[in-house]
Structure 1
Amino acid sequence: MRLQPGNQIRQLASRPGRQVDPGEQSHVGSASQCAPARPGPATPILPRSFYARPAAEVAPDLLGCILVHGARSARIVEAEAYPGRNDPASHSYRGLTPRTRVLFGPPGHAYVYLIYGMHECLNFVTMPDGEPGCVLIRALEPLHGVKLPTNGPGRLTRAMAITRRHYGADLTRGRLRVHFGERTEPVAAGPRIGIGLYPDLPLRFWLQGNPFVSRP
């Protein structure tokens, strides 16, 4: 029996607009505990276990982490959680399809899809194998080799040269990956952008005051 979506999602989110302390999330921690922002041997890649949690937990923990694609790198500054089966806004809500198969697989893989026939969006698969969930990456702060705008899901994939060819890519190895980073700004939370369902739920997270965050 399908549980009521609203009740399930509300269990994964707290009050709208709450402020998350930079040291609150155990997987990222305070700036002093995090690796330097510049990717390299001193900055470990996020392990698969990092992603094997509810999307609403993974999304704020990703803020400050470093997305790397080849020679390009950028800091994640905004993300949205899509809890999965009980979220009508999630692509996995209607079950397993050829398009959504990666969402039902192991966590820590890329889910890339096309919207409006022109914009490709990057998501990270969350939850244990078989349980769908994902985090949409909404904005990045350019670090190295990024010359195009990165404030918005479609813009950041273009700037990072990420396409649907990266559908299913393992984010824990290879050219497309995510490293631990540092975070000093407070984390803000609010409703997702462009989603009419559950507008009271804080499933969008961003680094407060960061100039690269997208505009609602």
Structure 2
Amino acid sequence: MPWLYFTLKPRHRTWAEAWQKEVQDSLRELETVEIAEGCFIAPEARLFAEPGRAIRLIGPGVSIAAHAFVHGPVVLEAGVSLNARVSLDGGAGGIRIGEGSRLATGATLYAFDHGLAPDRPVRSQPVTSSGIVLGKDVWVGANAGITDGVRIGDHAVVGMGAVVTRDVPAWAIVAGVPARVIGDRRDRRRSGAPGSGWPPDDSNQ
């Protein structure tokens, strides 16, 4: 549980940091990884970073939960959180996730795509990779998918189960398959607070 690690009381910190050092040192021996101080990686996480496809945790507070799958090239900035069963594959173009962004359980980002020409089977199609970029303070909901070439602006929200196939503006809330803009985080009327009018009351419709 990454959030428990970051809230440990001082009397537990010594053994926990030593345990994390073992986990992280074993990854450094096996994979092409860069891990900043103050990060957490669950021992059940799967990180694959062969030469030329590095994984870089470049700021403190990055957390990767159990059963996450991360295949470089991937860059995670400070405070990024990958929850259980998140799947990232950087292809050739790479994935970069900005500071403080959070990916919920089962979110999937694949930074590559196969051709669809009818003259050959899928396994023989050429593979392309443009990369994926998430800005800072982005929230990607559970089981959402983001396809190659997408750029998501700062502070955006991707709803649970959405499939994002095009760029998302900063502050936008997107949902659906394919995802479309349904709101804006700056709209305080959509805060969910009592009397805000959000979510809408459909009882009389």
TM-score above 0.5, yes or no: no
Which structure: larger Rg? 2
TM-score, normalised relative to structure 1: 0.22
Where relative contact order (Cα < 8 A, 6+ residues apart) is larger, the structure is: 1
